[in-house]
Chain A
Amino acid sequence: MRYQEQGGLHEDLLNLKWTTPGNILAAITNFAGATLTIAELEARKLHHDSTELITRAVQPALWLLIFGEVLARVRAIPTGNLSYIDFMTPGILAQSVLFIAIFYGIAVIWERDLGILHKLLASPAPRAALVLGKALSAGERGLSQAVIIYLLALALGVRINWTITAVVGVLVVVVLGSALFSTFSLIVACLVRTRERFMGVGQLLTMPLFFASNAIYPISIMPIWLQTISQVNPLTYEVDALRALMIVGGPTVYGLMVDLAMLLVTIAILVIMAARLYPRVIF
């Protein structure tokens, strides 16, 4: 496949060579507009049918109520000054965001089979805007998970940091985490191309991503080889940021700025990759 996708950003940039800053501003507005339109499309769908959001609440509830309560009694995991349930709650938030986002890419296969994708790709919306819009709409679903986890945490007596900056920070990280893993999922979908294969690969990816992270135990108790893997796993940085923001006295291993930078850089790389693969799904 030597063909290189032309048009799109590449062509837009060529056309911009002799133009004014005003045109560059217009291109940016155009990009943002298309991105938000795709996010709006998904938000409207959720609004028409939100049963999905309610059934999604069950899994994190089980993790917190059963797994969390049992392990808290065992006291096997060193969590520093935090109780185990305090330690674990941000991890379970990250996990439930991951579990939704990692299957999000199947939508692209679905939309191709329906023909919706054909029409989106024949529209002037930049490819990267289509991808980023999808990523943001995964964030919408992630936010609903955040609401559920906050409610569960309240019921379980988790020491939540309720300051506005902390809560807003948590929501931002949730959107970033959703965007990151949903774009990763989109790339997988573009590569495997069928629903059946996608479900298989999705299952295969979820558990390693979850267990090779600091979501339910600190990295320091892992064997060295697993520590290495965990340190390149973006979920680790998402959890690290959530733990610092969500819990009173929550520690951060890497520092918030490093966490955010890791997430943003990874998202940028994934969106660029996905924008190149996306149009090929229909070949």
Chain B
Amino acid sequence: MKVLMFGWEFPPHISGGLGTACYGLTKGLSQIGNVNVLFVVPKAYGDEDHSGISLMGANNVPINIKELYFPKSDKSINYIEVGSNLIPYVGEEEYLNLSEKKITDSNNPLKIKDGKFNFSGTYNNDLFDEIYKYSLVAKVIAKNNSFDIIHAHDWLTFPAGIAAKRISGKPLVIHVHATEFDRSGGKVNPRVFNIEKEGMKMADHIIAVSNLTRNIIIKKYGINPDKVSTVYNAVEPLNKTAKTKLKKGVSEKIVTFLGRITMQKGPEYFLEAASMVLKKMNGVRFVMAGSGDMMNAMVKRAAELKIADKIHFTGFLKGDEVTDMLHMSDVLVMPSVSEPFGIVPLEAMQSNVPVIISYQSGVSEVVKYALKVNFWNTTEMADAIYGLLNYPSIWRLIKREGKEEVDNLLWENSARNVREIYLKVLKKEQDNLPVKNKL
């Protein structure tokens, strides 16, 4: 079975959960056999090697065909990088900010250097234009390659998936890692919503990363429940050779928030809980690791709460720094308001850090050895933090059992579930063909 997959980001440039999930799933699929993936990713070229790039389509889109090798399984897949400024997670507004910045900031890695990039030249700051052009490229790729099924990850690639379906007539599976309702916190952008809805309507099957997301798809997008399945994410085993570079410089315990500082992640609830804990005990510090549009507001709020000396803002952390941060932490809190899945708690559990997560996260459907609270219930959150820091047995138990639990969440299992869905979709396709075409 050959799968044409429109995904996001491959190592070494992974900036967040979506790329990690795509990579993990692709790797998992390559390990279970019978599935070949041709992976297509948008990529804004900055400092990379351009030698392998070929141009494609009416827009002179640079295309780079590469091979990715998975060391452990001794397998590799082909993947195609398509020159594009699409980056995951951004909404229209945020995208505008980013692209405006690009004009003034020449060091921004998103900047396109050599003008080959046709649509960057006549750049009109319109994300939707970019998405449309990406779908044109997808059409060309779909025409020139053979495959049995199409798999598209999140709304930015839905038009590409649909285009590929139209030209090839192959079934389309879309994978929803987040919806506009999660990203926007209620202020839904109708254009984004429409693209999502169109993708869901056109899809032969929809994969949601949690029941939480599945319910949103059914209720808010009006999709037939039979068409939506939940496949939970997993987590890549820890690279054992990775060593901590930084040492914890303080003797106090550290409670960490790790993620984008945006409304979706509920950073303000973390601060409120922190201030309650600090009123009652010494010997603890709080860290807010990440960046985002609410960061300044949070710094201000910390000052208002008079806890600025005990709360530290690190800014955006890269891969190794994330590992270091986790190693220094005694407790990780993820107070997300709306989190379709949430991979960070799993990474923390791998690093032996007990976690407190909100019920409003998909990951809370998967793990048992974690403390769970409603994101708005800051007293309960504070109580959970205090309990973990002050009563050693619960901290030890959650740390040990949590590690064991997360080590058994394998991408191979998720990939098997995805393969089941492929087979179901293909069988249905087969059944629906007119009799004369079956043979």
A interacts with B: no
